[in-house]
Amino acid sequence: MKNKFFQLASISFISIALTACTACTIKDKTTAAETTQPQQNELRATGDMGVIIERATGQVQIIDHSDKKVISEIDGLGDLSHASIVYSRDQRYAYVFGRDGGLTKIDLLKDKIAKRVMQSGNSIGGAISQDGKLVAVSNYTPGGVKVFNSETLELVATIDSSILTTKPKNKDGSPVRSKVVGLVDAPNNKFVFSLFDSNEIWIADFSSYHKESTKEIDKGDEKNNKVQLTKFKDIGLSPYDALMSGDGRYYIAGLFGEDGMALLDLWHIEKGVTRILDGYGKGEKKLPVYKMPHLEGWAIAGEYAFVPAVGQHKVLVISTKTWKQIAEIPAHSQPIFVMAQPDNRQIWVNFAHPDNNTIQVFNTETFKLVKTLTPGPAVLHMEFTPRGEHVWMSVRDSNEIQIYDTQTQTLLKTLKSKSPSGIFFTSRAHQIGL
pLDDT at 17: 42
Longest dimension (CA), the chain: 110
pLDDT at 275: 93
pLDDT at 281: 57
- The pairs formed by 258-267 with CB atoms below 8 angstroms and a separation of 24 or more are 259/283, 259/284, 260/236, 261/236, 262/201, 262/235, 262/236, 263/323, 264/192, 264/201, 264/232, 266/186, 266/187, 266/190, 266/192, 266/203
Q: List, for the chain, all residue ranges whose pLDDT scores fall below the cut of 50.
A: 2, 4-38, 213-224, 283-284
Identify whether the C-beta of residue 174 lies closer than 8 Å to the C-beta of residue 166.
no
Q: Smallest Cα–Cα separation from 157: which of 105, 99, 229?
A: 229
Question: What are the strands, taking DSSP E only, across 206-244?
Answer: 228-233, 239-244
pLDDT at 175: 78
pLDDT at 21: 41
End-to-end CA gap in the chain: 80
Distances (CA, A) of 46 to 64, 109, 189, 428: 9, 8, 24, 12
pLDDT at 396: 97
> DSSP character for 17?
H
pLDDT at 291: 57
Fold classification of 46-430 is Methanol Dehydrogenase; Chain A (2.140.10)
pLDDT at 165: 63
Every domain of the chain and the residues it spans: 46-430
Q: What's the pLDDT tens digit per position in 48-82?
A: 999 999 999 999 999 999 999 999 999 999 999 98
The residues that bridge with 330 in the sheet, in sequence order, are 314
- The reply to whether the predicted model has a pTM over 0.75 is yes
Tell me how many degrees the CA angle 93-130-232 measures, rounded to the nearest 5.
Answer: 125
Q: How far apart are CA 176 and CA 169, in angstroms?
A: 6
pLDDT at 310: 78
Q: How far apart are CA 79 and CA 54, in angstroms?
A: 10
